[in-house]
Each structure stands twice: as structure tokens, then as C-alpha cells.
A and B are shown apart, each in its own frame.
Chain A
Amino acid sequence: MMELVLSLAIGILAASGTWLILRPRTFQVIIGLCLLSYAVNLFIFSMGRLTVGRPPIMPKGGFVNPDAYADPLPQALVLTAIVISFATTALFLVVMMASRGLTGTDHVDGQEREP
């Protein structure tokens, strides 16, 4: 059940994101990129296998049974990916605003299509 919910969530997010980044308005593109990055983050998370009741942080010292713990690496990767995509999206937003200011339109090509 958990697998189904997660894969549906990733699929819907990725599909909506893909549709949105192909749209002509910069706002749609940025929302699309956000949705895609959510999908990717969930995907990375799922690559550490889905488990219940297993913490990713191990106690210090002594012998640890790895079976009792989740793989911490994908979670660390997700954290890095979130930070990086957050920063780059913010940067993209600034460029978007600059483009809006310079061209007066929010079309991705900086000009409206000829009617």
C-alpha cells in the first residue's frame, strides 16, 4: 500500500511538473520545476527502500545490527538536493523577475507570440 501511494505521488508530481515546464509562462515553468524537484526528492528517498519503524541514525559505540536501521545515505542526499534546488530556484526567480522587468512580459521568450 505504501509503495503504491508513494509511486502514485511521484508519478503525479512528475507528470504535472513536466506539463508545466513545457508551458509558455515563466511562472508556470518555475512551479513545474518545483513540482519536479519534489518528485525527484521523493524518488531519491524511495531508493533507500521503504521501511517502517527503522531510524536512520545509529547509536554510538558497540555492535550495531544494520538490519534494524534504514539506509541513511539517501536521506542525506535528499537533504543536499533540497538545499541545492531551493537555492537554484530562488536564483531562477530573480532572473525571471529581471526578464519581466526588461521585456514587460512573462513569456519565456521575452515576447508574445505573433497573433
Chain B
Amino acid sequence: MPVPEHLIIAPILIPFVTGALMLLYHERQRRAKLGLGIASAVSLLIVAVELLNRAKGNDLAGGKDIGFYLLGDWAVPFGIALVLDRMSAMMLVLVALLAIPALIYSAAGWHKQGQHFHSLFQFLLMGLNGAFLTGDLFNLFVFFEVLLAASYGLLLHGTGQLRVRAGLHYIAINLTASLLFLIGVSLIYGVTGTLNMAHLAALIPKLPEADLPLLHAGAAVLGLAFLIKAGIWPLTFWLPTTYMAGAAPVAAMFAIMTKVGIYVIMRLALMLFGPDAGASAGFGSGVLIAGGMATVIYGALGVLASQGVGRMAAHLVLISSGTLLAVTGFALAGGSPEMLSGGLYYMVSSTLAVSALFLLIEPMSREEGGIAAMLALTADAWGLDEGDEDSQQEEGLAIPATMTILGLCFGACLLVLAGLPPLSGFIGKFAILSGALDTQVALPNALWGFMGLLLLSGFATLIGLIRIGIQTFWGVDVTVPRVLAVEIAPVIALVAMGMVMTVKAQDTMTYLNETAHALLGPVSYLEGMTAAPRVTQEPEVAP
């Protein structure tokens, strides 16, 4: 096997090796750890972009290249396979794009608030990349556990009563969800005898009638585990507190954690229960549509009701994941690829904007004293020594015209999240709506309701965020916080990525259109997987 073929596994190995390497450094050598972490994230980005170029073939719309990587060179479907297609390549790039700003931001002081921040961060990246790359259900479980275990540690980073309480709930809920995951996987295995996603998709239409209820039960239990992660209403009540409690760079990275659940649902639902699935076609679409719409309503009400910007940002995550779940449901019920590709565009742009917003929250509310007091308490709890305390405040370059820059970044996030022109949020929502108008689904009323909700949720976002903006930036007795350049640069970078998406909207949409077509009709995925080449040839077994 030529070396470039092995690049597919690099997004898992790079953070794994880096995270393990960091454990060898003493906790005091944070600069070395930070350097290693950023080097790893940058190389991840380079690898991800290269993989994206490969996945899209030679031109934006034409290529149908899917990379397969058989671990240990076992034949499909017995071994574990990694699969690189347009969707997973896109998610890999998104992970790397979120990781670099979050790491740079943590250099301003957050990474000093606890132990092993950088190692945990790398393991989180490893779990995320693995979950996006794997083509096997049980391997998906393993990578989910890797990313969850890392996220438990990261959520508790900095400790404090609020974090420990939120962390306790978060861990308990995710442990239960993992058990549901296992029940679902084993039911599906019991019925079909395989765990390989492509093999499953080939077997499901051929299943005897009597086995279908068990398969559907398994798929429903499995889906429940992902829906908990995606935060569908009514399984969502853990999410706002958890996201609010996380440290800023951690919350910024968590912005993609709900998207992992959505990614798996999109991939599995459209692959296993697509139009070719015979009697099971479209299974679960009603739940996804209704649940997604309920999540959007809950998120919009939450945005209107929230007092603080942290809680509001967490509810914005809910609106985004509810919208995507409903779009997936409509795609499963026979929606047009245009609607799905609009959803994918919306997913990328809203993830970037929410991540930027989470990074903005702390500098914006710094003067209110809440965070500073919490940090002091944290330092006490950890028994950090004086040397660490000193460097906490006055280090690094503070930026001029603080309020202007903060306000501009906040405004850009607001435009994206509310879906107002000219930024990427508008294009995403517009693409969803225009795709929805072309769609002939069985439930036209639900579609109209969803379109109304999409606009209403944007309006609620606008009201909520403008209220916060007025309080923060136009207040009479505003004390200007001291914001470091390393804190604002990542926010500007994330906002700029959104702007690049807007300027390059046509290229992005062409790519995503092709992705949506591939998701809705995963022919090359399914055929490619069964024909994935092995390095060694099977020796003839004498009978």
C-alpha cells in the first residue's frame, strides 16, 4: 500500500500521539504543551484539507472518490474499516478549524486553570475524527467513548461547584446513553449479523418480514443514543447548563459535539433507511421531523427567556441542531437534495458562529466579576501556587478599541445566527427554504410549519441577541474590559471563516450539493465498501 493511502488514519493518529506525548511533560511546561497542541491541530488541518481535496476528486462537482482504509487488512465486512467520503472530509476540516482558535484562546489563561487540558483536548479531537471516519458501528461506539471521556475531563476543567454539578449530570446522562447505544448495536447485530454500515445497508432490504420489528427496535434505541447527544427535545435539558458551565475554549469545541450526533443520524438514517431499504424505507422520519421542530421551538423560547448570554448561546446550539434534525427527517421522507445541502451549509456556518460566540462571552462579561471570582476560587481549590496566579492577569498584548472590536464580532455572530443577509447564515437558511419549496414530501403541512419555524427562530435569535448587545455595548456605565489579543484573534478568525464561506458560497454549495446527493444515494459508498481492495491476497484454502 503506498504511503499516501495511509493518510486517512492520520487524523486519528496525530492527536493520539500528541496527547500521549504531552503526558510526558510536567504540568508546568504549558508553553511546550500549547506548542505541541497547536502544531498537532495545524497538521490536522493540513491533512483534513488534503483529504477533502481527495474526496471531492478533481473538480468540485464531478468526483465520486471515496477512500477506504482496512485496518489490519481484514476483508470487509469482518474487520474495521475507515471511510473517507465528502461528508466525513468536511467534518474533519470543521473539527480542525474549530480546534485551532480554541487552543489559541486557551493560551490566554484558561489552560492554567486545571491539569492536562491539552492532552484531554487532543483526545477529544481524536475521538471526534474517529467518529467521523469510521465505517463500523462498534468502532463508532469506541470513538464516542473516547470523545466523551475526554469531554468529561474538559467540562470539569477549572472545577468549581457549577462545573462539577453540571459535569455530574452530563456524565450520568452520557453513560446511560452509551448503554442505550450498546443495546441498539447488539440488537442490530443479533438481527443482521454484521456491524459494518455498508454491509448493513445491503442486508436490510433482504431481511425477512418477521425480523423487521426487532431491527426497527434496535435502530430506534441506537438512534435514541445519538438524539440525546444532538439534544433533541425532550432529551435536551442537560445541554444548556452543561454548555454554560464549560470553560470558554471547551464550550467553543463542544459546539461540534451535538453535530457528531447529527452527523451519525444523517449518515445512518439515510444509508440504512433510504429509499432503497424496502419495507424499512423512511423509518424514523416522523420522529426526526417532529422532534426537530419541537427542539427549535424549545430553543427559541429558551433564547427569549435567557438572561445571560451563556445560556442564550446554549439555546442557540439547540435551535441549530433542531433545524438539522428536521432537515434530516425531511430528507429521509423524500426531501430534495437541495434542502439537505442547504442544511449542511447551515450546519457548518452555525457551528462556526456558535463557537465564536462562546469565545466572545467571557471577554464580554468579564467586568461583571462573575468569572474573575470563579477563577480565584478555582485557584484556591487547586492549590495553585503564587507563580501561576501572577501570570493570570497581566500578560500579553491588550487590544485597543476593545468595545468596537468586541461589538463588531458580536454583530457578525448575530447576523449569522439570526440568518440575516449578507453573511453565511442567510445563505444557509435561504438554501434550506428554497430546497424545501422544491420538495414533494408526504407531509406538506409539516414542511410549511417547519419553514415558518425556521424564520421565527431566526427572529427570536435576533431579539435575544440584540437585547444582550444593547445591554453590553450601549450601556451607560460600561467599564471597558481588558481583552488580550490572543483572546480576540481566534474570534476574528472564526468570524472570518464564516465570511470566506459567504464569499465562496458558490463553490461551497457545489461541494455540499454533491455531498447531499451522495448521502441520499450512497451507491459509491456501498459498492466501494464491498469492493474495498486488500493489500494481501487471500491464499486459496484447500477444502
Contact = CB atoms under 8 A, between A and B. Distances in A.
Contact of A89 (B156, B164, B175): B175
B111 to A, nearest CB: 20
Given A43-B183, A81-B182, A88-B145, A108 B541 contact: no
B176 interface: yes
A102 interface: yes
Interface string A1-39: 000000000000000000001000010010001001100
Nearest to B161: A102
Main secondary structure of the interface of A (DSSP, over half): helix
Contact of B161 (A92, A108, A110): A110
Interface in B147-199: 148-149, 152-153, 156, 159-161, 164-165, 167-169, 171-172, 175-176, 178-179, 182-183, 185-187, 189-190, 195
Nearest to B171: A92
Contacts of A26: 168
A70 B315 CA distance: 49
A37 B149 contact: no
B142 interface: yes
B172 A109 contact: no
Contacts of B148: 88
A103 B172 CA distance: 18
B186 A43 contact: yes
A77 B189 CA distance: 11
B182 A40 contact: yes
B161 A87 contact: no
Interface residues of B, number: 34
Nearest to A98: B164
A110 B175 contact: no
Q: Which of A44, A92, A95, A110 has the most CB of B within 10 A?
A: A95
B189 A92 contact: no
Contacts, number: 94
A85 B179 CA distance: 9
A73 B164 contact: no
Given A40-B183, A80-B138, A85 B178 contact: yes
Contacts of B72: none
A58 interface: no
A110 B164 contact: yes
A101 B401 CA distance: 43
Nearest to B377: A102
Contact of A33 (B149, B153, B172, B185): B172
Contact of A98 (B159, B169, B186): B159
A33 B176 contact: yes
B383 interface: no
Given A36-B176, A74-B186, A91 B152 contact: yes
Given A29-B172, A80-B142, A88-B178, A44 B186 contact: yes
Contacts of A87: 149
A92 B172 contact: yes
Contact of B165 (A77, A85, A89, A110): A110
A87 B182 CA distance: 16
Interface string A81-112: 10011011101100110110011000011100
B379 to A, nearest CB: 15
Nearest to B188: A47
B369 interface: no
A109 B182 contact: no
Contacts of B179: 33, 36-37, 40, 85
A48 B182 CA distance: 14
B543 A91 contact: no
Nearest to B142: A80
Contacts of B182: 40, 43-44, 77, 81
Contacts of A108: 168-169, 172
B209 to A, nearest CB: 20
Nearest to A26: B168
B175 A95 contact: no
Contacts of B381: 102
A73 B540 CA distance: 24
A47 B178 contact: no
A99 B168 contact: yes
Contacts of A92: 168, 171-172, 175
Interface of A: 21, 26, 29, 33, 36-37, 40, 43-44, 46-48, 63, 73-74, 77, 80-81, 84-85, 87-89, 91-92, 95-96, 98-99, 102-103, 108-110
Given A33-B172, A36-B176, A91-B152, 7 more contacts: A43-B183, A74-B189, A84-B178, A95-B167, A98-B159, A108-B168, A110-B161
9 contacts: A47-B187, A77-B185, A77-B186, A84-B178, A88-B149, A88-B171, A92-B171, A95-B156, A98-B164
**7 tightest A-B contacts by CB?**
A47-B190, A44-B186, A110-B165, A47-B186, A99-B164, A40-B179, A84-B145
